[in-house]
Amino acid sequence: MNKKLIATGALFGMIAIILGAFGAHALKNVLLPEQLITFETGVRYQMYHALFLIFIGILTDLSEKAKKTIYYLVIFGIVLFSGSIYLLATNTLTSFDFKVIGFVTPIGGLLLIVAWGVLFTKFLKKN
């Protein structure tokens, strides 16, 4: 599980850097400043949670079950939270109205919060 956590964190981190560069360069001329700020929020939260996965992967005090739970919460949280933010921020660039999927953003955020909560409660219960 540790290898999977670290590898996934590294992959999400790499994608965050690519998307951040894409936003700063390619999208800078086609998005409004507010849209670009929104896109950057998605990138920032993706990077935070990529690093979180790596951190969880190197922790020795956490059970495999807790690590697996956090892993899936973060994966789905990033996809729903950051993924929907990317689509919503670039909504004007396509003919599809991504506002119809906007309801998944807070669900993704909640999954990320729960992942941190799992870490918090597991360490509170440790002797």
Which CATH number do you get for residue 95?
Answer: 1.20.120
- Whether residue 127 is predicted with pLDDT greater than 80 in this model: the reply is no
Residue with tokens 């790499």: 14
Distance CA(32)–CA(54), nearest Å, equals: 33
Q: What is the pTM of this model?
A: 0.91
- The domain tally of the chain equals 1
Domain hosting 17: range is 2-125
Contact 93, 30 (CB under 8 A): yes
Indicate the pLDDT class of residue 97, thresholds 50, 70 and 90.
confident
| Phi, psi for 8 (deg, rounded to 5) | -65, -40
Give the end-to-end CA distance of the chain in Å, rounded to a whole number.
23
User: What tens digit of pLDDT does each residue of 14-72 get?
Assistant: 999 999 999 988 898 888 899 999 999 999 999 999 999 999 999 999 999 999 999 99
Give CA–CA dist 1/93, Å, rounded. 39
